[in-house]
Amino acid sequence: MVFKMGDFILGMGKEFALEAMEISEKLSLDEGETLFNAGDAARHFYVLIKGRVELSLGKTGPVVYMARHPGEVIGWSSLVGRNDFSASAKCRESAKLLKFDRNSFLELLQKNSANEALLFKRLAEMLGNRLLELYPTIT
User: Which of the pair, 50 or 130, is modelled with greater confidence?
Assistant: 50
Give Cβ neighbours of residue 64 (< 8 Å, ≥ 6 apart). Answer: 55, 56, 57, 87, 134, 137
Q: Residue 130 half-sphere exposure, CB side, CA atoms within 13 Å?
A: 20
- To which H or E segment does residue 127 belong? helix 113-138
Domain ranges of the chain: 6-103+110-134
pLDDT confidence tier of residue 2, bands split at 50, 70 and 90: very low
- Nearest in space to 48 (alpha carbons), one of 15, 6, 92, 104: 6
- Nearest in space to 69 (alpha carbons), one of 95, 101, 88, 89: 95
Spatial distance between the Cα atoms of 66 and 53, rounded to a whole number of angstroms: 6
| % of the chain with per-residue pLDDT over 70 | 86
Q: pLDDT by residue (tens digit) across 85-102?
A: 989 999 999 999 999 999
pLDDT confidence tier of residue 72, bands split at 50, 70 and 90: confident
Cβ pair 54, 75 in contact under 8 A? no
Give Cβ neighbours of residue 51 (< 8 Å, ≥ 6 apart). Answer: 29, 68, 91, 92, 93, 94, 95, 96, 97
pLDDT confidence tier of residue 138, bands split at 50, 70 and 90: low
- The structure's pTM equals 0.81
Q: Which fold has domain 6-103+110-134?
A: Jelly Rolls (2.60.120)
Give Cβ neighbours of residue 81 (< 8 Å, ≥ 6 apart). Answer: none
CB atoms within 10 A of CB 81: 8
- To which H or E segment does residue 88 belong? strand 88-91
Comparing 42-46, 48-52, 127-131, the range with the smallest average pLDDT is 127-131
Q: pLDDT by residue (tens digit) across 55-66?
A: 998 777 888 888
